[in-house]
Chain A
Amino acid sequence: MELPVVRMRNRRSVPLADVPVLPVTETGVVLETAVATGWRIVSLFGLPEGADELRLIAVLGHDAAGQLAALSTLVGRRYPALTTRCRQAARFECEIAEQCGATPEGHPRLQPLRRHSPDHAPSRWSQAPSDAASYRFARITGGEVHEVGVGPVHAGIIEPGHFRMQAHGEEVLALDIMLGYQHRGVERLLESLDRARAIYVGESIAGDSVIAHASAYCGALEALARSHKSGRAQTIRGIALELERLANHIGDLGAMSGDVAYQPAAAYFGRMRGECLNLLMTISGNRYGRGLIRPGGVGFDIDEALAQEIERRVRHLETELRQVADLFFGTASVQSRLEGVGIVSRDACLERGFVGPVARACGVARDVRHDHPYGVFRYVQVPVATAWAGDVYSRALVRRLEIQRSIEFVAEQVRAIPKGDLRAPCDGLVPGELVVALEEGWRGEVVHVALTDDGGRIRRHKVVDPSFHNWPALAAAMPGNQISDFPLCNKSFNLSYAGHDL
């Protein structure tokens, strides 16, 4: 069956008028059919239409075909939940209920995600905030079941989130995760701030994914402004993205070594993470790459001398990393901690639409750089790293493989930066268009969807951090595991709280 959708490509805008509007029941059927034929929900969000109607826009992605698609439906204050037909819509509908004040009827688990008052509701709808007390934790009753709650304030220097486990002895039966402590109203800010300031919000969505979020944000703007950045800017962005991936993947391997109390690898990985951040600093003056990605291009150049320096340091890192990774992955006591813990099944991944290393670790070759190539990745193929077991070991292995490939990419590309301007003009957005910008951040698919109104102003800016998709994966991976393995399992996902809370 030909789906009633408008086909799109990554960072190619389409007129909003081309997005079909279907009846809500038919939308559910289309989503169900689409997911059954290899599509997945990339984003689903509400757009107020007039004072009393909400337009739900669904963005779908087909990874094998490299295609994106959009469709929409108009709903009132109450509408039949799409989740009953398509499970991937579940969290998005919770978000819509909270942001827009619409109630999806028949939703199996309607929970507040961030606990704030609706900020994208049609003007005549009630503005009552979602209620923290209405969060219903999953509970298992029985004389021998006990409950372990952790957070929102944690022992380490990490972000706030509340985890509640139902356990039988040392075995976890269910895990519930309540987030939302970091909600800042990012989407509203991106819509309302002037463009000179908005980029600072764009790169602050998740503190460790500065490059990925800033690139996706700028990608959306550039498509709407018909701005064409030079090959030089594209390559520098690609290098920065891979350096960010390197720093975080290496840091994650180090954190996992620390969690299993394997000190040597923890110490070396920790130091090497710092070296990758320092590389970003030599380029942009900031360890996390703030200020590097700007609409129309990049804010800083990589000249010949710096390029040689980066290549030299990355090559040196490669040798050291191989030795430490061999040490880490080759130690029997480490392997026995990582294998078989926190398994995410391939079926669960396909059904629920997990992304990034979490998906690749259970054999789902899903990588925006490969499936929906953009920028420099249209010319340079980065192999997709996959593993099959879906456990902590596989997630660590995928990171190791990606580290190798990112080093290879940086070392090669830094020698071949094309000539060109750093920044192209990026002003004047085309009115009435919709664009989807995907970026493969180190955590997975970063999505920025932007819509312009008739005056060429941003009407709606939707952000989906990979953590939004993947937090349920952690909750699904824990049952049957030991309470004491939770920190390790959590670290193997290393999801963002701020990215989820927006």
Chain B
Amino acid sequence: MNTTLSAAAALGVVIVLAPGVIGVAARTRAALTHRRGTPVLQLYFDLFKLLRRGAVFSDATTWVFRFAPVAVVVTAILAALVVPLDGRASLFRFAGDPVALAYTFAFGRFFLVLAALDTGSSFEGMGASREVTFASLVEVGLFLSFATLAVLTHELSLSGMLEAPLARASASGSAPAVAMIAGSFFALLLAECARVPVDDPATHLELTMIHEVMVLDHSGPDLALILYAGALKLSVLGAVVISVLVPRANLPPAVAIAVLAGGLLLVGVGVGIVEASMARLRLPKVPLYLAGASALALFSLILALWSAA
């Protein structure tokens, strides 16, 4: 199998599996609290249900409101294109593509925030302000982590960075840096994907929501797109965590993709375990949490630079 085909197959797996990862997280959380929980496939059911429904649009909204759901899905897929999902090479790769990854997601969020403001609702404005504040803090940790990977591997594209970071780091005696990056990435993933301890996907209380309150006015197929984009984002960021921890460049493509699928389900389990074991942070404490994730990335960068010197 050639590289392109393998990358395309991996992309297909992520696109299909993404809603299932959310289901695994919910199911894990339920199991750990001795409940039966919703079916693993619940989000698929929800998506199909929503796709068959009509959408309601407020008179106050403009084209921005209708465009945002498309924008978040498209940007999530574009982001998936630059991540080496199968552990060897992504469909698009170029020097500096980690920056593209971060800002492709940011572009989708930009439109989601605009759509939230477009509704004129005080709830949505509140959610938008929270989302933007925390997203800007996530960037710090994200870029410090990518910088560490770049220092360790002397590569500037994600495909190069994630080919075998552990092996390169071990060679230079900075293997702990890789583990720290993985930890930092996972913490940022929880924040980016609106999970506990930063946000609570299960709550119905608008006043406490961050991400969900922004999309309260979306309905039908639009809501389906937004929910799907959220699931896809979790899986794409999850794939980055997997690639950091499990180098797969030397595995046969089929095995590499199977590891990806298994790894994504494990990410779902991890998210579920976190959600079943701690309460959500108070909102003013969220920046501290993100600063913690950034500090972890910063230390890994120092470690990488120190051992490279």
Report which A residues bind B (CB closer than 8 A): 146-150, 155-156, 170, 257-264, 266-268, 331, 333-334, 336-337, 341, 482-488
Q: Which of A264, A268, A341, A484 has the most CB of B within 10 A?
A: A484
The reply to whether the CB of B202 lies closer than 8 angstroms to some CB of chain A is yes
Q: Is B2 positioned at the interface, with any CB of A under 8 Å from its CB?
A: no
Bound-state CA distance A149–B35 (Å) is 35
Which residues of B have CB within 8 Å of A336? 279, 281-282, 285
Which of A156, A333, A341 is within 8 Å of B278, CB to CB?
A: A333
Residues of B near A156 (CB, < 8 A) are 204-205
Are B275 and A263 interface neighbours, CB within 8 A?
Answer: yes
Are A263's CB and B29's CB within 8 A? yes
Are A264 and B276 neighbours in the complex by a CB distance under 8 Å?
Answer: yes
Taking a contact as CB atoms under 8 Å apart, the answer to whether A487 and B196 are in contact is no
Query: Once the chains bind, are B200 and A261 in contact (CB under 8 Å)?
Result: yes
Question: What's the Cα separation between A366 and B273 when bound, in Å?
Answer: 42
Given A267-B34, A267-B35: A261 in contact with B203 (beta carbons within 8 A): yes
- Tell me the smallest distance from the CB of A44 to a CB of chain B, in Å: 34
Which residues on the A side are within 8 Å of B284 (C-beta)? 170, 482
Given contacts A261-B280, A484-B283, A485-B208, 5 further A-B contacts (CB under 8 A): A155-B204, A261-B200, A263-B276, A333-B197, A482-B284
User: Are B282 and A483 within 8 A (Cβ)?
Assistant: no
A407, B130: Cα distance in complex, Å: 43
* Residues of chain A within 8 A of B29, CB atoms compared: 263
Interface: B126 (CB within 8 A): yes
B38 at the interface (CB under 8 A from A): no
Instruction: Give the one of A264, A268, A337, A341 with max B CB within 10 A.
Output: A264
* Most chain A CB inside 10 Å of its own CB: which residue of B126, B202, B285: B126
Give me the 3 closest cross-chain CB pairs, A-B, nearest first: A261-B280, A262-B279, A261-B200
Among A148, A257, A333, point to the contact of B207 (Cβ < 8 A): A148
Give 5 CB contacts A-B under 8 Å.
A261-B202, A263-B202, A333-B279, A336-B285, A483-B207
Measured CA separation A297–B300 after assembly (Å): 73
Does B105 belong to the interface (CB within 8 Å)? no
A331-B278, A334-B279 given as contacts; is B122 within 8 A of A486 (CB)?
no
Residues of A within 8 Å of B206, CB to CB, are 150, 155
CB pair B282–A337 under 8 Å, yes or no, is yes
- Which of A258, A263, A267, A337 is the most central at the interface, judged by chain B CB atoms within 10 Å of its CB? A263
Query: Which residues of B (96-126) have their CB < 8 Å from a CB of A?
Result: 122-123, 125-126
Q: Produce 1/0 per residue, B183-220, CB < 8 A to A.
A: 00000000000001100101111111000000000000
How many angstroms between the C-alpha atoms of A263 and B28 in the bound complex? 11
Determine whether the beta carbon of A486 is less than 8 Å from that of B207: yes
Contact status B205-A259, CB under 8 Å: yes
Chain A residues lying within 8 Å of B203, measured Cβ to Cβ, are 258-259, 261
Q: In whole angstroms, what is the CA distance A264 to B34 when docked?
A: 8
Q: A337-B279, A482-B283 are known contacts. Are A264 and B207 too (CB-CB below 8 A)?
A: no
**Interface residue tally for chain B (C-beta within 8 Å):** 31
User: Separation in Å of the A129 CB from the closest CB of chain B?
Assistant: 30
Q: Would you give the shortest CB distance from A302 to chain B, in whole angstroms?
A: 31
Question: Is the pair A268, B205 in contact by a Cβ cutoff of 8 Å?
Answer: no
Complex interface: chain A residues within 8 A of B202 (CB): 261, 263
B272 to chain A: closest residue by CB: A263
Chain B residue contacts of A258, Cβ below 8 A: 203
Q: For A266, give the chain B residue with the smallest CB separation.
A: B33
Chain A residues with CB under 8 A of B126? 148, 483
Q: Which residues of B contact A150 (CB under 8 A)?
A: 206-207
Q: How far is the CA of A267 from the CA of B275 in the complex (A)?
A: 13
Residues of B near A337 (CB, < 8 A) are: 279-282
Chain B residues whose C-beta falls within 8 Å of the C-beta of A267 in the assembled complex: 33-35
Residue of A nearest to B280 (CB): A261
Q: Does B305 contact A (CB under 8 A)?
A: no
With A156-B205, A263-B276 known to touch, is A482 a contact of B282 (CB < 8 Å)? yes
Q: How many Å lie between the Cα of A334 and that of B275 in the bound state? A: 13
Please indicate the chain B residues that have their CB under 8 angstroms from the CB of A266 in the complex. Answer: 33
Contact call B279/A260, Cβ cutoff below 8 A: yes
Query: What CA separation (Å) do A356 and B43 show in the bound complex?
Result: 43
Cα distance, A9 to B127, chains bound together (Å): 53
Known: A148-B122, A267-B35. A259 touches B208 (CB 8 A): yes
Contacts of B251 in A (CB 8 A): none
Q: How far is the CA of A320 from the CA of B283 in the complex (A)?
A: 32
Complex formed: what's the CA distance from A126 to B65 in Å? Answer: 52
- State which of A149, A259, A264 has its C-beta within 8 Å of the C-beta of B122: A149
Chain A residue with the shortest CB-CB distance to B284: A482
Chain B CB count within 10 A is highest, among A260, A267, A336, A482, for A260
**A327 smallest CB distance to B (angstroms):** 10
Instruction: Determine the distance from Cα of A148 to Cα of B280 in the docked complex, in whole angstroms.
Output: 23
B181 to chain A, nearest CB (A): 24
A155 touches B205 (CB 8 A): yes
**Distance (Å) between the CB of B173 and the closest chain A CB?**
35
Query: Considering the chains assembled together, what is the distance between the CA atoms of A266 and B208 in angstroms?
Result: 17
* B33 / chain A contacts, CB cutoff of 8 Å: 263-264, 266-268
Question: Which residues in A have their C-beta under 8 angstroms from that of B125?
Answer: 146
Q: How far is the CA of A260 from the CA of B281 in the complex (A)?
A: 8
Q: Mark B274-309, 1 if CB is under 8 A from A, else 0.
A: 011111111111000000000000000000000000
Partner of B279, one of A331, A483, A487: A331
Q: Name the distance in Å between B206's Cβ and chain A's nearest Cβ.
A: 6
Q: CB of B258 within 8 A of chain A?
A: no
Distance in angstroms from A350 CB to nearest chain B CB is 29
Bound complex: CA A170 to CA B134 (Å): 14
Question: Whole-angstrom distance between the alpha carbons of A38 and B264 in the complex?
Answer: 64
Give Cα distance in the complex from A482 to B123, angstroms: 14
Is B95 an interface residue when CB atoms closer than 8 A count as contact?
Answer: no
Residues from chain A with a CB closer than 8 A to the CB of B208 are 259, 484-485, 487-488
Q: Report the minimum CB–CB distance from A186 to chain B (whole Å).
A: 30
- Whether a CB of chain A sits under 8 angstroms from the CB of B171 is no
Which residues of A are found within 8 Å of B34, using beta-carbon distances? 267-268
* Interface check B32, CB cutoff 8 A: yes
Is A170 in contact with B283, judged by CB distance below 8 angstroms? yes
Question: Which chain B residue shows the least CB distance to A260?
Answer: B279
Give the residues in chain A near B123, CB-CB below 8 Å.
148
State A397–B171 Cα separation when bound (angstroms).
Answer: 54
Determine the distance from Cα of A391 to Cα of B214 in the docked complex, in whole angstroms.
30
Check B205 against A261 for contact (C-beta < 8 Å): no
Specify which chain B residues have a CB less than 8 angstroms from the CB of A482 in the assembled complex: 282-284
User: In the bound complex, how far is the Cα of B141 from the Cα of A278, in angstroms?
Assistant: 51
Contacts of A257 in B (CB 8 A): 279
Q: Hey, which chain B residues are within 8 Å of A262, CB to CB?
A: 278-280
| Smallest Cβ-Cβ distance to A270: which chain B residue | B35
Residues of B contacting A155 in the complex (Cβ-Cβ under 8 angstroms): 204-206
Kindly state the separation between the CA atoms of A337 and B204 in the bound complex, as whole angstroms.
18
